[in-house]
Structure 1
């Protein structure tokens, strides 16, 4: 049985959490290699980070696999393997938004990066961890582990593997401690930062 930190209160996210969780994820991923590669770096950077993560929350909320820690100090966005990819029309509808988030040149980086992620994504049934972030003010307190373990317990009950892409090398040991192993390394599109594809078989 995976154990959770006693001070962590984990629950499913509600629509009313989105403002707080958007702030949390924007802060958590502000220095992330992928967001640094794709999101505009000018005076509108912080606005762009908020918009990008708000949209991610909106897209993943219908799957009912988004969890928050302590009312928004951390969050994890999950989906089944057959849920997470957008339809052609969803992608088309998002183009104007992401052009503003990234700028024209960096939008192409984002587009090619997502294509790379899709091409390397496993086809075997699994649960996919799209994002896990804890606000910098609350990191190193066990909230990331608590968020992760909540869903990994479900994976074990359902005998379902889990998959993620680690965008920062410093996060790989964290995921290894929870049973994930690196199965492949690739870049987030041409010239993009390296991603470690990680897989966890159910215990």
Structure 2
């Protein structure tokens, strides 16, 4: 999606501004031996938890924090955000038959161009300012490089393609086991009829 839904801000503990000295003093003031005497496990845990939370409320302030999904992309300006909202509203009107398809399509095309230009401007600014903002540059690059790579389907000895992890692991295991056991010799310094990279005439598993 071009635009993420903004989530309502939530309150969370701000440990950066916490007064840990006050927290320690509040916890130490509790006469634990007297308070926990003749108490069971559940009662002792509840007393400790209540004391901990009271000390936390007095020593650790709260702050507002938006969810990760509510963060606006760096390339999304306020002006572009308004245009994307208008496009979404126009799409709703088109589904209800209030506007023509051509009108919505033209608006969508203009929004796509604006998004491409905004992303290109941001990438250009990151490249120009890489000396002063290396962290931001490499964070953006690493975000773009996040891909999930997996082993493709392999062909077993019977000529059948296998796709599950267990079957692919078995094919690779059999291949490497045959390579190493086939090249073993009672004289390590001598290799009979093989060169570097030779696998004893065995073909590697076929990747499809």
Fold shared by both chains (TM-score > 0.5): no
Normalized per residue, the structure richer in strand is 1
Using the size of structure 2 for normalisation, the TM-score is 0.20
The answer to which structure, 1 or 2, has the higher relative contact order (CA under 8 A, 6+ apart) is 1
Normalized per residue, the structure richer in helix is 2
Using the size of structure 1 for normalisation, the TM-score is 0.20
